[in-house]
Amino acid sequence: MSEHVFGASVKPREDPALLRGERDYTADLVRPGMVHMELLRSEHGHARINAIDTTAALAMPGVLKIITGADLEGHMMPLPCIWVPGGVESHFPPHPYGLPGAGTALATDRVRFVGDPVAAIVAETKAQAAEAARAIRVDYEVLTAVVTPETALAEGAPQLHDAVPGNLNALWTCGDATGTDKAIADAPVRVELELHNRRTINSPLEPRGALGEYDARTGDYTLTATSQSPHNHRFLLANLVLGIPFTKLRIISPEIGGSFGTKGYLYPDMPLVLFLAKEVGRPVKWTDDRYGLMRSTVQGRDHRQYATIAGTPDGKITALRCTSYANLGAYPSTIGPGVATALMGRSITGTYDIAHAFCEVYATFTNTVPLGAQRGSGRAEATFLIERLVDRFAATVGMDPADVRRLNMIKPEQQPFDNKMGWLYDSGDYREVLEMALDKAGYADRESVKAAARERGKLLGYGIASFVAICGVGPSPRIAKEGMLGGSWESANVRVHPDGETTLTIGVTTTGQSHETTFGQIVADEFGVDLGTVQVLHSDTFRAPYGQGTYGSRSFSVGGPAVRLAARKVTDKMRAVTAHLLKVPVEDVIWEGGKAFVPGDEANAKTFADLSMAIWYGWDLPKGMEPAIDETSVFDPDDFNYPYGAHVAIVEVDEITGAVDLVRYIAVNDVGNVGNPLVVDGQIEGSIVHGVGQALMEVARYDETGALLTDNLHKYAIPRAYDVPFFELDRTETPTQHNPLGAKGAGEAATVPVAAAVTNAVCDALAGFGITHLDMPLTPETVWRAMTGAATTEGAQR
């Protein structure tokens, strides 16, 4: 094998079984005596529950049990929220332990969004449970709903939670308000922009699912579920929801089928299947469908922002101010408030050295599905804001948008750079990736390309977006200051067997990122052995060391270093044994190419397999050394890491129909040291497609009653292969100093600039109409109406 498998484009070894359909998802699982749960969900956005009649449903064939919110009182605590807006006063629904609450598993007095669960039905078959759910009669008193933060904050608006006055979860701020306001007032150039970063629906391949089991003999519970944070969910469910001993709950995550952030949350179905498994004495399974997912799984984005950027006529940006109204939905999701505040607000300055900046976020409850993470959450909204503003500022001062970026970008020699909003960027040359992207895009020749497009009846536009994204959530003390109620470290265990084969067990959970390959590469590289001899286990709280979970592009850049440190303990032990056997000081022994030896005496080298057996036998070890090889390491990074890049979108707009064709997309990214370029490129391509979806077609639409109008894939468009071109990718590699791998987050970073790049390109194509901004999604109708309106206005002025 290659001496250095770390950094090699190894094909994911998980893929063949996945492609053949040989891996089990939650929906595939069957247990002896298993029964099925169905949830009755509210059809009203806001209503008081007067009564629930389950009489007819209970008498139906196969029905075993039906419970409502009243049946859970005294048996199940509300779900908790573990990321509050840091450093400010905040208000939440109550929790018995004094923690921020996130609503009950089943609604009691009121329903607060369409999809709010009201009753849980257990029956012999899924069809029988669904039929019984339709037979339940709920007496609702429909109440006025609020679906936007502005209406929820208005005087006299209906209150969603008694403990949350004015529906305001928190008014969160960062930066220097006084200095920023003065800098804006003093600036000769000021540009204001109102943006609506619209709400979107996550669409992973597999909806959510949960299977609960209870052993009456031992009192043990097992939850098999689509969880990307099984260890954290184990603690939250056992200690803060069900009130059972931590050691009595096991959580297993089989294949998850994608997440994009949605499966890191506690949902009502998780404690419900466990509670009901005990009640009926049989395994209880629940699987969602696409319709249910769209009405209950956390949704993303949804900020209405009012921003001002200021500077000088020569293109220097001196100040930036943003007021954002974030829509948290009906309840705080497990980490939703932190996503909407810190991840967005501290990121608004992007890759630019802006002397004065300030951001305030009104985090607000409304009668919509709870808000949570979506690939690039917070960072994508902030980047859309700053990159649209930079383009508008450039147009106002009459400069090329690329030149304004060049002038204001943070320089490499300024790194590490304090962005004055709370992030300390670690490393990077932002100008370098910008120039690479512009060169690959042929930006210097854009006018001739535009002219050629006009001859074909197309309006062509170039859009630039630079970005830097906070990833690798940690260290624990730092994230605690942001309001996270928990740690952010990761752990790994390496166990070497007598024959030299290795079992690596990791705390992080895969949602499709090829962990069994990429984490195995770290061990194989450190040991100098074939990757095929390294087994990787994960996603089972009874066998994996504790891990915080897969989110925030942290798996490889936080979990990976834990693996490296554990593997390094093994090779250090092998060096010590070799020194003992050769009777030389341990500092004279080096480990290289799968062998321990003294330079100049390679003939007496000890191989990995030799040492594995020797340590297992334990016949001749240094005094005090224990036999066997079983090492665990925990890694808590010094700080976050900050991947960055520059993307260029090139679009053609049909002047007759308004249709937008993304003809080229160039992406130059820097995610630090790359463990597997093939895997990283796949994640980057997927991330770009995700961003294209938001830019061109995706939007969750609600009416004034809180009804979700886009609740299936006939009404909610997602990108297909023919919607995107073949991407033109490149990278630089600037290691972070905050972990021993030098790796930065990669799984979601490339989503961050996409919506801005595509929107900038469309606005560039439409510049001749005097169109300066359009809110996403840029559907043909949106673009056509903008062009038609601009043409009509121009004609009237003439």
The Cα-based distances of 568 to 594, 630, 762 in angstroms read 12, 12, 51
Report the C-alpha dihedral over residues 270, 234, 206, 514, rounded to 10 degrees.
Answer: 180
Are 565 and 535 in contact by the 8 Å Cβ rule? The answer is: no
Are 329 and 336 in contact by the 8 Å Cβ rule? The answer is: yes
Supply 573's token pair. Answer: 């032990």
Q: Of 143, 161, 153, 45, nearest to 101 (Cα)?
A: 161
Q: If pLDDT is split at 50, 70 and 90, which confidence band does 724 have? A: very high
Backbone dihedral angles phi then psi of residue 484, each to the nearest 5 degrees: -80, 125
Average pLDDT, the chain: 95
Supply 535's token pair. Answer: 């087994």
pLDDT the model gives residue 289: 95
Give yes or no for residue 352 having a pLDDT over 50. Answer: yes
Mean pLDDT of 607-623: 95
Concatenated DSSP letters of 365-389: E-SSPPB---TTTTHHHHHHHHHHH
pTM: 0.96
610: which residues sit within 8 A by CB, 6+ positions away? Answer: none
**Tokens 């969160």 sit at which residue?**
172
Q: If pLDDT is split at 50, 70 and 90, which confidence band does 3 have? A: low
Q: If pLDDT is split at 50, 70 and 90, which confidence band does 766 have? A: very high
Q: Of 605, 604, 625, 602, nearest to 615 (Cα)?
A: 625
pLDDT the model gives residue 791: 67
Strand blocks (E) in 522-679: 534-537, 590-592, 595-597, 606-607, 629-635, 644-654, 660-670
708 DSSP 8-state letter: B
For residue 646, count CB atoms less than 10 angstroms from its CB and return exposed for 0-12, middle for 13-18, buried for 19 or more: buried
Mean pLDDT of 568-596: 96
Rg (CA), the chain: 28
Whole-angstrom Cα distance, residue 97 to residue 259?
30
Q: Of 643, 642, 646, nearest to 730 (Cα)?
A: 646
Give yes or no for residue 798 having a pLDDT over 50. Answer: no
When mean pLDDT is compared across 98-112, 486-500, 542-556, the lowest value belongs to 542-556
Query: What pLDDT, in 10s, does the model give residues 733-743?
Result: 999 999 999 99
Amino acid sitting at position 277 = A
Are 69 and 83 in contact by the 8 Å Cβ rule? The answer is: no
Give yes or no for residue 797 having a pLDDT over 80. Answer: no
Q: If pLDDT is split at 50, 70 and 90, which confidence band does 790 have? A: confident
Query: What pLDDT, in 10s, does the model give residues 465-497?
Result: 999 999 998 789 989 999 998 889 999 999 999
Are 213 and 280 in contact by the 8 Å Cβ rule? The answer is: no
Are 30 and 260 in contact by the 8 Å Cβ rule? The answer is: no
pLDDT the model gives residue 552: 86
pLDDT the model gives residue 608: 96
Mean pLDDT of 230-243: 97
Q: If pLDDT is split at 50, 70 and 90, which confidence band does 792 have? A: low
For 411, half-sphere exposure in the C-beta direction (CA atoms, 13 angstrom radius) is 3
CB neighbours (10 Å) of residue 743?
A: 32
pLDDT the model gives residue 396: 98
Query: What pLDDT, in 10s, does the model give residues 142-164?
Result: 999 999 999 999 999 999 999 99
Query: What pLDDT, in 10s, does the model give residues 727-764?
Result: 999 999 999 999 999 999 999 999 999 999 999 999 99
- Note the helical H segments in 514-639: 515-527, 560-582, 608-617
Are 193 and 391 in contact by the 8 Å Cβ rule? The answer is: no
Mean pLDDT of 387-398: 98
Give yes or no for residue 559 having a pLDDT over 60. Answer: yes
Q: What b/e readout covers 56-94, taking b as 16+ CB neighbours within 10 angstroms?
A: ebeebeebbbbbbbebbeeebbbbbbbbbbbbbebbbbe
Are 184 and 308 in contact by the 8 Å Cβ rule? The answer is: yes
Mean pLDDT of 667-686: 97
772: which residues sit within 8 A by CB, 6+ positions away? Answer: 392, 395, 763
